[in-house]
C-alpha cells in the first residue's frame, strides 16, 4: 500500500530558481531566504520518497490561456522543462510515473473530480522551482519520478479552497488505495501573499501569511472557510495560489508534525515561505 511520508509547501517565485541557476544564493538579497531552506533540505535528504506529486499552476507557459482546466493531471513518461522566454532552466527534465498517474486519475474521477488529462506537458517555474527548493543539486536527474497535478489559480473562477481541500482528501484516499508499496511525497506550491500587476502590485500581507502558516498545520478548516474573494483581497491576486497548499494538506493525516517552516520577504516583490510536514505517525512517548 502506498503511503504519504511528507508534504512540503513552498513558494515558486521564478527568481528563486534564477538565483540558484546563477549562483547567487549567498548574495545579501538572497542569503536569508536560502539559509531558511537549510534545515528542511537536510531533513528531506534523509527521507527520500519513491515518487512525488507536485500540485502547481502553469503560468501560460505549458498551457494556452484560452484553455485553462480547473484541475488536471499529467500521465506522461516524461515532462520537458518549459522555455519561459529566457531559455530553459539548466535543470533535468522530469521523469513521470504513468502507472500511478492513471491510478490517481481513475480514483479521482470515480470520486467526482473530473480531471483534465495531460498526456504531454511542459512544466514551468511553478513546478521546477519547488523541485529546486527540495533538491538544489539534482545532477542528471531529480531524486524520483514526479507527477504534475494542475490547478487553475490564474483565471476567474478559480476553484474554492474547500474544493481544493476535498480534492486533497480524495487524493489521499487514492494514494492509500494504490497496491504498490511506495513512499509518496506531496509538494503544495505557490504563495505566499503577492500581487504582480495592477493598482496593488507589490502587495504583501504578513499578518494573513502568518495566520495561514499556522492554520495549514493545525486548523485547515479555517482556511477552507475563506472564499476566493477573501484570498484575493487578503493575499493579492496571485496569493490565491495558496489554495494549492490545501490540496497537499487534505492528502495528509489530520495530525501532522511540522519539521520546519520559514517566511521571507521579499523574494522579488513577493512574500515567500516553506513549510515541511512529516506525515508519519509520531513515535509513542
> What 3-state class would DSSP assign to 183?
strand
Write the CA distances from 261 to 3, 11, 171, 275, integer angstroms.
23, 12, 24, 4
Q: Name the residue nearer to ligand DHB (CB basis): 7 or 239.
A: 239
Residue with smaller CB distance to ligand DHB, 10 or 107:
10
C-alpha dist (Å) from residue 149 to 117, 142, 167, 193, 257: 10, 17, 11, 22, 24
Q: Looking at residue 239, what DSSP letter applies?
A: G
**Given candidates 8, 10, 14, 234, which one binds ligand DHB under the rule CB under 6 A?**
14
Q: Is 260 a catalytic residue?
A: no
Q: Is 194 a catalytic residue?
A: yes
Find the binder of ligand DHB among 10, 135, 261, 270 (CB under 6 A): 270
Can you tell me which of 17, 20, 59, 182 binds ligand DHB, judged by CB under 6 A? 59
- Cβ-Cβ contacts under 8 Å for 62 (sequence gap 6 or more): 82, 121, 122, 123, 124
Among 58, 122, 234, 238, binds ligand DHB (CB under 6 A): 238
Q: How far is the CB of 142 from ligand DHB (least distance, A)?
A: 20
Site string for ligand DHB, 154-193 (x = CB under 6 A): ------------------------------------x---
Q: State yes or no: residue 194 binds ligand DHB (CB under 6 A).
A: yes
Taking CB under 6 A as the criterion, the residue among 2, 5, 8, 13 binding ligand DHB is 13
Any idea which residue has 517565485 for its cell?
13
**What's the burial of 189, exposed, middle or buried (CB within 10 Å: 0-12/13-18/19+)?**
buried
Residues 93-152 that bind ligand DHB (CB under 6 A): none
User: How many CB atoms lie under 10 A from the CB of residue 156?
Assistant: 8
C-alpha cell belonging to residue 275: 513549510
Least Å distance between CB 241 and ligand DHB? 6
CA terminus-to-terminus distance, the chain: 26
Residue nearest to ligand DHB (CB): 268
- Catalytic residue, candidates 12, 59, 125, 262: 125
SS3 at position 240: helix
12, 103, 194, 260: the active-site residue: 194
Site size with ligand DHB, rule: CB under 6 A = 12
Kindly list the catalytic residues: 125, 194
Q: Which residues bind ligand DHB (CB under 6 A)?
A: 12-15, 59, 190, 194, 196, 238, 241, 268, 270
Amino acid at each position: 500500500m502506498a503511503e504519504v511520508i511528507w508534504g512540503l509547501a513552498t513558494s515558486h517565485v521564478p527568481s528563486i530558481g534564477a538565483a540558484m541557476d546563477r549562483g547567487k544564493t549567498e548574495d545579501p538579497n538572497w542569503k536569508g531566504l536560502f539559509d531558511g531552506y537549510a534545515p528542511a533540505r537536510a531533513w528531506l535528504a534523509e527521507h527520500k520518497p519513491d515518487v512525488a506529486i507536485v500540485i502547481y499552476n502553469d503560468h501560460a507557459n505549458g498551457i494556452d490561456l484560452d484553455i485553462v482546466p480547473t484541475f488536471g493531471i499529467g500521465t506522461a513518461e516524461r515532462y520537458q522543462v518549459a522555455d519561459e522566454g529566457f531559455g530553459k532552466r539548466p535543470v533535468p527534465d522530469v521523469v513521470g510515473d504513468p502507472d500511478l498517474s492513471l491510478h490517481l486519475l481513475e480514483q479521482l474521477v470515480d470520486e467526482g473530480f473530473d480531471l483534465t488529462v495531460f498526456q504531454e506537458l511542459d512544466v514551468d517555474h511553478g513546478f521546477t522551482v519547488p523541485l529546486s527548493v527540495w533538491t538544489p543539486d539534482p545532477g542528471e536527474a531529480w531524486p524520483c519520478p514526479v507527477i504534475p497535478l494542475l490547478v487553475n489559480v490564474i483565471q476567474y473562477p478559480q476553484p474554492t479552497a474547500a474544493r481544493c481541500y476535498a480534492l486533497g482528501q480524495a487524493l489521499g484516499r487514492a494514494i492509500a488505495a494504490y497496491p504498490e508499496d511506495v513512499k509518496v511525497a506531496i509538494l503544495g506550491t505557490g504563495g505566499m501573499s503577492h500581487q504582480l500587476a495592477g493598482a496593488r502590485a507589490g502587495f504583501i500581507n504578513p499578518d494573513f501569511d502568518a495566520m495561514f502558516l499556522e492554520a495549514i498545520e493545525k486548523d485547515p478548516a479555517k482556511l477552507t472557510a475563506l472564499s476566493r474573494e477573501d484570498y484575493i483581497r487578503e493575499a493579492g491576486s496571485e496569493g490565491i495560489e495558496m489554495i494549492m497548499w490545501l490540496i497537499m494538506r487534505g492528502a495528509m493525516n489530520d495530525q501532522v508534525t511540522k519539521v520546519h517552516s520559514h517566511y521571507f520577504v521579499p523574494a522579488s516583490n513577493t512574500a515567500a515561505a516553506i513549510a515541511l510536514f512529516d506525515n508519519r505517525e509520531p513515535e509513542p512517548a
